[in-house]
Homo-oligomer: A and B are copies of this chain.
């Protein structure tokens, strides 16, 4: 099929819900055959996720954070990350979230790529970074309602454990795919 036969024309949209973390709009779109349909789209600020690698005498470890997640109602062990703040770049947001949550700083910090967390319903992006050459900071810098345990997990345990508790965060798995893809190219 020609790519042009796949393309919809996005039309007007109407705000139908707003919370402090995202908003929802109903959006008109015209199909490749010229028919109009309504779709529900979620708008939110962009997110950042960092894959932090710590070399230890026992082998390479990922720095991960264990925290309660209110959507799934369970503990999740995941790469550090969060929501970009107004006025900061993706890299600035990624560094800030990484340092605040883990109490590490990275001498080497670079971009792995970016994606849509869910292109079917979400309009924002998630930006992925890799951090290495890590040194400890004095302490975490958490919000009042953040309770985050920092853990050093062997790289092989994360790769082998993904898709089973506590490795249940799909965006952490997406970050892992970028890390593994990078390793296969080196």
Which residues from chain A sit less than 8 Å from chain B, CB to CB?
A: 1, 3, 5-8, 10, 16-17, 19-22, 24, 26-27, 29, 31-32, 35, 37, 39-42, 66-76, 112-123, 126, 128, 145, 147-149, 159-160, 162-164, 167-171, 173-174, 176-178, 180-181, 184-185
Name A116's contact: one of B35, B67, B170 (CB within 8 Å): B170
Known: A17-B24, A116-B76, A162-B177. A29 touches B70 (CB 8 A): yes
Name A119's contact: one of B3, B69, B181, B184 (CB within 8 Å): B69
> A40 near B22 (CB under 8 angstroms)?
yes
Ranked nearest first, the 4 interchain pairs of A and B with the lowest CB-CB distance are A113-B163, A69-B119, A173-B174, A72-B119
Chain B residues near A160: list those with CB within 8 A.
Answer: 181, 184-185
Known: A24-B19, A173-B174. A113 touches B149 (CB 8 A): no
In the complex, A37→B145 CA distance in Å? 8
In the complex, A5→B117 CA distance in Å? 29
Chain B residues near A148: list those with CB within 8 A.
Answer: 6
Chain B residues near A149: list those with CB within 8 A.
Answer: 1, 3, 6
> B177 near A116 (CB under 8 angstroms)?
no
